[in-house]
Amino acid sequence: MMKFSGPPPLEGLRRQIHRHRQGKASDGKGDFVRETYCLSRRDAREKARQWFDDFPKAAYWTEVESWRQVEGDRIEFTMRRLPTAD
């Protein structure tokens, strides 16, 4: 039986993780399609509704990823969805 004198070397795992991350970053796609808007409150609601109508949540995982109120009655928000409904 072989006896180890410490934890196993992790350099191979580090290289594999690094290659995987580089591959994901270089394709430029990511996992989701995101668009950010800055609209009046009424127009923001209409735009979000349009996204949910065009890309149903059940198929595309559509959601308002983030939002915040900016100067006056304007809303800045990011919509997110999957690129396809596979």
Three-state SS string over the chain comes to: CCCCCCCCCCHHHHHHHHHHHHHHHHHCCCCCEEEEEEEEHHHHHHHHHHHHHHCCHHHHCCEEEEEEEECCCEEEEEEEECCCCC
Q: Say whether pTM exceeds 0.75.
A: no
Residue 7 has pLDDT above 90, yes or no: no
When the pLDDT of each residue in the chain is averaged and rounded to a whole number, the result is 86
